[in-house]
Structure 1
């Protein structure tokens, strides 16, 4: 099963085409598919065509975070949720998982810190599999940016 997930992610990255690129201002609702997101600062949002529907978000002015948002392509979720934690984080520090319910939507959240290129990073993967379409959100931000920690861990990016 882990091989299948990796295969889907690799195939998606090999066949992606940028369909549009948009500058989004802070605290402006950004609508994509049936979802709405907010961002803590100006961002560039890329809508990509892949095997999966994919949205990539980068800061427009300064380094500090990025997001990848996907709609999962299968009709039934993978029931072994433990698979997700190991498939996302490489050499994660203090990995943990927990559930969070936000306006009647339940997310399974995997979190781990990581050191990459001398940067201390926080990684979170949010997976909503209690209703269709199934949603996968990967957040990564520099832990020295306390404003980002407050924004993402308070789930302000989801304007549900």
Structure 2
């Protein structure tokens, strides 16, 4: 039994030291890699450093959305043979593609609805066209959360 508890203790230390997490309150500016974000409710943000920088955002109190933000070493990952859209939009319903300008940044936005685990979800991927390093944002939220639909589709998460 002591060996088992020692293993759990060592495992707990090794996993907790890897994660960098911060609680961010609603409507508070959160700056990451020079980009500023605002969230609609209390969230936990986790930062990771891989080949590119990665920020993952989870709601702190209730389920409803998540966000992954990455910096990429290229400006336009629009290879027509690329399958990254398929990995984000698994069986996407009514996929759309459009551009938006916010402040001095232009974005290519891919959007699709999907059903996953009996949940109706909305997905958006925002790709910064001129930022260096490239900015890639994937947002997924439950479609029945109209407050989140209004928040994300009116671009309030990017405080530029």
> Which interval holds the TM-score relative to the shorter structure?
0.7 to 0.9
Superposition map of 1:6-85 within 5 A? 18-74=18-74, 76-80=75-79, 83=82, 84-85=84-85
Cα deviation, residue 138, structure 1: 0.1
Give the equivalent residue in structure 2 for 1:4. none
Tell me the distance in 1 between the aligned counterparts of 2:18 and 2:157.
23
How big is each residue's C-alpha offset from its partner over 1:75-110, in whole Å with a ceiling of 9 and x where there is no partner? Answer: x53353684533421100000100001112110000
SS of equivalent residue, structure 1 residue 86: helix
Give the equivalent residue in structure 1 for 2:135. 135
TM-score w.r.t. length of structure 2: 0.83
Equivalences, count: 143
Choose 1 or 2 for highest CA Rg. 2
SS of equivalent residue, structure 1 residue 28: coil
SS of equivalent residue, structure 1 residue 151: helix
The answer (yes or no) to whether the contact 1:18–1:49 under 8 Å persists in 2 is no
Give the equivalent residue in structure 1 for 2:4. none
Tell me the distance in 2 between the aligned counterparts of 1:151 and 1:109.
16
Tell me the distance in 1 between the aligned counterparts of 2:65 and 2:77.
28
TM-score w.r.t. length of structure 1: 0.83
Unpaired stretches in structure 1, ≥5 consecutive residues = 1-16
Unpaired stretches in structure 2, ≥5 consecutive residues = 1-16
Give the equivalent residue in structure 2 for 1:110. 110
How big is each residue's C-alpha offset from its partner over 1:109-143, in whole Å with a ceiling of 9 and x where there is no partner? Answer: 00000100100000000000223121000000000
Q: 1:82 to 1:130 in 2, by over 3 A?
A: farther
Matched, 1:93 2:93: yes
Cα deviation, residue 49, structure 1: 1.9
What RMSD in Å do the two structures reach over aligned CA positions? 1.7
The answer (yes or no) to whether the contact 1:18–1:46 under 8 Å persists in 2 is no
Please identify, of 56-65 and 95-104, the stretch whose mean Cα deviation from structure 2 is larger: 95-104
Give the equivalent residue in structure 2 for 1:146. 146
Matched, 1:124 2:124: yes
